[in-house]
């Protein structure tokens, strides 16, 4: 669950990272 928080932080800091995450 903690990982989700880190992922959300990345989404806000670098939305481009979201594509890589997916």
Q: Given this model, what pLDDT does residue 13 score?
A: 60
User: What confidence score (pLDDT) does residue 5 get?
Assistant: 72
Separation of alpha carbons 19 and 11, rounded Å: 9
pLDDT, one tens digit per residue, over 1-22 is: 576 776 666 666 665 655 665 5
How many Å is the maximal CA-CA distance in the chain? 22
pLDDT of 15 reads 58
Q: Which pLDDT value is given to residue 1?
A: 56
């Amino acid at each position: 669950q903690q990982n989700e928080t880190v992922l959300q932080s990345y989404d806000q800091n670098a939305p481009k990272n979201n594509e890589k995450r997916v």
